């Protein structure tokens, strides 16, 4: 079951980092190690945009497992529908803890489509939003009265925290339809947003990609989904 005991995942940030043990022995002085660490630090903000997610990344990041440790990204797949049958699709993923895909989408990407007429948006997200991202979603909904939004999430992020629960209720009251992903949703994302992984030959060159295989759900997908549905219903009451 998903995140039944948040005591095991006390990380305050949405994107969790997996702690790494130091090497058993090292001759590099501590000061030099510190300097090297500073040089290797990643930039504070980076959001990747694209149209298709590698299959292995989707299967790992969207899995509605009991504990999300090691899943240190948020993936957001979106469909934007405007008048006259215009449909736009894509996905975003955040690379570092300070950059969340939801805030980037609702603050930077979506506003470009809201200038003319009603807009219907469906987002499939690997994890429910944190407090800041929920605030960005609520602001977008309140500013755009013609926006219809569905947010379909694989896992609930720190759902026992009162601030998170309040943030989820906040986007609900702002007009967002929030629900958990089911098997049919996973299949839809697989068919519309996922691509086969690139295969390398012995020379390290990429070979022609094979046809996209069928989505194979993991054993406890439906069980975990129902568990999350119950928790979400409790929160939204």
By annotation, the residues acting in catalysis are 102
> What is the spatial distance between Cα 222 and Cα 128, in angstroms, rounded to a whole number?
18
Rg for the chain, CA atoms, rounded: 19
Max alpha carbon distance in the chain (Å)?
Answer: 66
Continuous segment of H or E residues that includes residue 180: strand 177-180
Distances 236 to 22, 31, 65, 129, 140 between C-alpha atoms, Å: 43, 50, 22, 14, 20
| Beta-bridge partners for 153 | 125, 180
SS3 224: helix
Inter-helix orientation angle 162-173/131-143, to 10°: 10
């Amino acid at each position: 079951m998903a995140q039944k005991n948040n005591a095991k995942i006390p990380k305050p940030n949405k994107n969790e980092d997996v702690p790494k043990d130091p090497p058993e022995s090292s001759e590099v002085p501590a000061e030099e190690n510190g300097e090297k660490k500073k040089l290797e630090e990643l930039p504070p903000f980076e959001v990747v945009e694209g149209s298709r997610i590698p299959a292995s990344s989707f299967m790992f990041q969207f899995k509605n497992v009991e504990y999300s440790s090691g899943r240190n990204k948020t993936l957001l797949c979106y469909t934007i529908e405007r008048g006259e049958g215009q449909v736009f699709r894509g996905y975003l993923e955040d690379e570092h803890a300070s950059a969340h895909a939801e805030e980037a989408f609702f603050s930077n990407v979506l506003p470009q489509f809201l200038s003319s007429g009603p807009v219907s948006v469906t987002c499939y997200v690997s994890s429910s939003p944190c407090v800041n991202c929920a605030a960005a979603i609520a602001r977008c909904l309140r500013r755009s009265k013609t926006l219809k939004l569905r947010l379909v999430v694989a896992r609930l992020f720190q759902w026992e925290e009162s601030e998170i629960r309040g943030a989820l209720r906040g986007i609900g009251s702002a007009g967002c339809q929030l629900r958990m992903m089911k098997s049919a949703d996973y299949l839809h994302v697989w068919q519309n947003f996922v691509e086969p992984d690139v295969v390398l030959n012995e020379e390290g060159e990429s070979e022609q990609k094979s046809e996209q295989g069928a989505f194979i759900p993991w054993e406890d997908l439906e069980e975990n989904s129902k568990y999350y549905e119950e928790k979400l219903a409790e929160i939204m009451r």
